[in-house]
Amino acid sequence: VSGPKRIALTGATGFIGRRLAAALRARGHSVRALVRDPARAERMEALAGCALVALDLEGAGAEGDTLARALDGAEVLCHAAAYIPPDQRDPAHAGRCLRVNALGTLALIEGAGRAGVGRAVHFSSGNVYAPSPDPVDEGAPTYPAARATYYLASKLCGELYVEHARRRGALRACTLRVSSVYGPGMVGGVVSLFADRLAGGARVRVSDGGRYRTDLVLLDDVVSAAVSAIEREAVEGIVNVGSGRATTLLELARTLADILGRGEDAIEVEPAREGVTDLGFSPLEITRARDILDYTTTDLVEGLRATVAAR
């Protein structure tokens, strides 16, 4: 583990980036946040003490000078910005996903190589794997063709550009494949939706027998993994960051109802639909993260309690 670093961080105004910026500052690193709107970032408490530099990743490839200035002097690039479409099913968002998450990442990683930034830590998605009921390790096939494809394809493409830069020796790089993140400060998403409804005395409706599943990982665990990846210079390549197990929609609803003191009658379970083969995302095998990042995970009930308490 190395000493304090000069870190250029994208996505610092986001759900994960905000918490990561504060955690890096608390550990004595200097953080330069590359943000679209510095005036807005200036007002964010979590970014106090961070230097702010304007950078829009959409079209960044054509802005060589801006990129060079944004990355000048940085020792590590942490890339946590992404365009996450408001509607994952609408193909109209595919272009912007590619421009920001694929081409924006390409511009950034190539710019980092040119600027002499020695190392990059990149946030990708643990949902890029081909669906599997069992935990998938970093060597499992990727093929996100079932859902969130416009977004996930662009994440996978960005990840390939980073990995290619690493393999040709432009810089050292580590890609974190992060599963579905929940935690204090989240806006939108099924955990927030269910928690809001149940806390407000309403019922929640769970579709398709509640079979949809995803690997839910607590924000704090993801931030700890990212800090560790930034500080451990020897860590390279792909690393899964998840909880290591799948949670179904029904389990999530029941657990939240229990935490909020609501009974089984607060959950309306619609019958399982016939012929449904896409049941969500694969749980991640997290042995590599445990081994090389000293990664630990928080139990779902504990994490959901903390999330509910922070609302």
Rama region for 130: left / alpha / beta (φ>0; ψ in -120 to 50; rest): beta
Question: Torsions phi, psi of 44, nearest 5?
Answer: -90, 120
Nearest approach in angstroms of CB 152 to ligand NAP is 9
* Cβ nearer to ligand NAP, comparing 67 with 82: 82
Nearest approach in angstroms of CB 224 to ligand NAP is 15
Alpha carbon distance 128, 216 (integer Å): 15
Alpha carbon distance 53, 66 (integer Å): 9
Nearest approach in angstroms of CB 262 to ligand NAP is 25
Which residue's CB comes closest to ligand NAP? Answer: 14
Nearest approach in angstroms of CB 181 to ligand NAP is 4
* Cβ nearer to ligand NAP, comparing 81 with 204: 81
* Cβ nearer to ligand NAP, comparing 125 with 262: 125
* Cβ nearer to ligand NAP, comparing 83 with 212: 83
Alpha carbon distance 30, 3 (integer Å): 11
- Kindly name the residue from 150, 151, 212, 295 that is annotated as catalytic: 151
Q: How many CB atoms lie within 10 A of CB 223?
A: 21
* Cβ nearer to ligand NAP, comparing 151 with 210: 151
Rama region for 261: left / alpha / beta (φ>0; ψ in -120 to 50; rest): left
Rama region for 210: left / alpha / beta (φ>0; ψ in -120 to 50; rest): left
Nearest approach in angstroms of CB 115 to ligand NAP is 17
Binding stretches for ligand NAP (CB under 6 A): 10-11, 13-17, 35-37, 56-58, 80-84, 100, 123, 125, 155, 178, 180-181
Catalytic residue at 161? no
Q: How far is CA 44 from CA 98, 172, 187, 297, 310, in A?
A: 28, 31, 16, 28, 18
The strand pair at 247-248 and 213-214 is best described as: antiparallel
Q: Which residues belong to the active site?
A: 151
